Amino acid sequence: MELDKNFKEFIELLNDENVRYLVVGGYSVAHYGFMRFTGDFDIWIEPSEDNGARMIEVLKKFGFGSLDIEPSDLLHPDKVIQLGNEPLRIDLMTSIDGLKDFSESHNKRKSVRYRDLKVDFINLDDLIINKKASNRIKDRKDIEELEKIIKSKKLKDVDITEEKTEKTFSGIKVFVFNKPEFEQVLKKNKLTERNIESYTSLMFISIIDTGNNQLLSDKKNYLTLEFDDVERDVPGIAKTLKISQARRLNKFISSNKDKKQCYIHCSAGVSRSGSIGKYIVDELKGDQDFFYKNNPYIDIKDYFLKVLKSGKSKGSGKRM
């Protein structure tokens, strides 16, 4: 799961000021393995005066000092402070459904690292308690999916003490084509299902709408991905990858680290193929300057990158 840069900055400030907090809501659900759209970043903060004072400092540094909030305001249960607008809104809450003792939940927190950023998430058991207490349709769906993940033993938390394995591969060049250009590349190089695997220095990714015919069947160095609809449109992206497709992509690029070039095309638009391109460049430490110079029309979408990462990835205290 990838966090938006605004969320990262906010978490960094919370850590710098030693604020006691827990990430809850949709992002915590995504962390534990079920990715869905959420319009806000929900944070449960300890309702104490000392913690409130530290929280006020964070708000000032984050550009919300004009809210005129006192530390004592953060002692009240069911207090919600909203910063910004969807889909990048941050919701600060002094209480959440089903859990009364912040300290107890904080002691059971799951601390993880995203690159160099430490993030404190609500413990999975407490998250499920919270979801059962809220009991909305999406909460019940969250519980169903989380319990599936637990049963299938696919839950993979990253402990903060775990050393990050650094990738040694570097230098891949990524090209993004529209459909006609991509088909010309295949035709020019006389690529067919019989000979595509002989191009040992190249990998190819074709992105299609669900139900469309594939250009070629999947091969070791050729992958076809399908899009699926999401509940709510994100500006610029009406569709995104299924989680299963994102996992296939991760497996594919992991097995093609020796390739020198990657050709990508998306029949539904270059912004999505561009997002996958950026993802590959980031994951394999590719040539970013080359990527942006040779793919100048790409509109990278942060939300889409979050969905890819998950393949590895209002108004009240009750809205999460």
Residue with tokens 């690159």: 115
- pLDDT, residue 236, reads 44
Q: Please check the confidence at residue 126 and state whether its pLDDT lies above 90.
A: yes
3-state SS string over 95-155? CECCECCHHHHHHCCEEEEECCEEEEECCHHHHHHHHHHHCCHHHHHHHHHHHHHHHCCCC
The candidate with the shortest Cα–Cα distance to 277, out of 197, 167, 170, 173, is 173
The tokens describing 179, both together, are 């459909």
Cα torsion 22, 307, 312, 280 to 10°: value is -130
Rg (CA), the chain: 22
Contacts of 140 by beta carbon, 8 Å cutoff, 6+ apart: 131
Q: Please check the confidence at residue 204 and state whether its pLDDT lies above 60.
A: yes
3-state SS string over 169-187? CCCCEEEEECHHHHHHHHH
Residue with tokens 């449109």: 233
- pLDDT, residue 152, reads 64
Q: Please check the confidence at residue 65 and state whether its pLDDT lies above 60.
A: yes
> Prior bond to 87 cis, omega within 30?
yes
Q: Please check the confidence at residue 82 and state whether its pLDDT lies above 90.
A: no
DSSP letter (8 states) at residue 255:
T
| Half-sphere CA count of 82, side-chain side, radius 13 A | 14
The tokens describing 261, both together, are 């070039």
Q: Give the pLDDT confidence of 103-112 residue by residue, as tens digits.
A: 999 999 988 8
| Half-sphere CA count of 94, side-chain side, radius 13 A | 17
3-state SS string over 190-238? CCCCCCHHHCCCEEEEEEEECCCCCCCCCECCEEEEEEEEEEEEECCEE
Task: Give dist(CA 253, CA 259) in Å, integer.
Answer: 9
Region of poorest pLDDT, from 61-70, 157-166, 168-177, 271-280: 157-166
All structural domains of the chain, each given as residue ranges with its CATH number in brackets, are 5-151 (3.30.460.40), 173-309 (3.90.190)
18 or 182: whose pLDDT is higher? 18
144 or 210: whose pLDDT is higher? 144
Q: Please check the confidence at residue 235 and state whether its pLDDT lies above 70.
A: no
- pLDDT, residue 313, reads 42
Region of poorest pLDDT, from 26-35, 68-77, 232-241, 251-260: 232-241
Residue 30, H or E segment: helix 25-31
- pLDDT, residue 163, reads 34
User: Where does the pLDDT of residue 287 fall: very low under 50, low under 70, confident under 90, or very high at 90 and above?
Assistant: confident
The tokens describing 238, both together, are 């009406």
Average pLDDT for 120-143:
91
Q: Please check the confidence at residue 299 and state whether its pLDDT lies above 70.
A: no
Average pLDDT for 292-303:
70
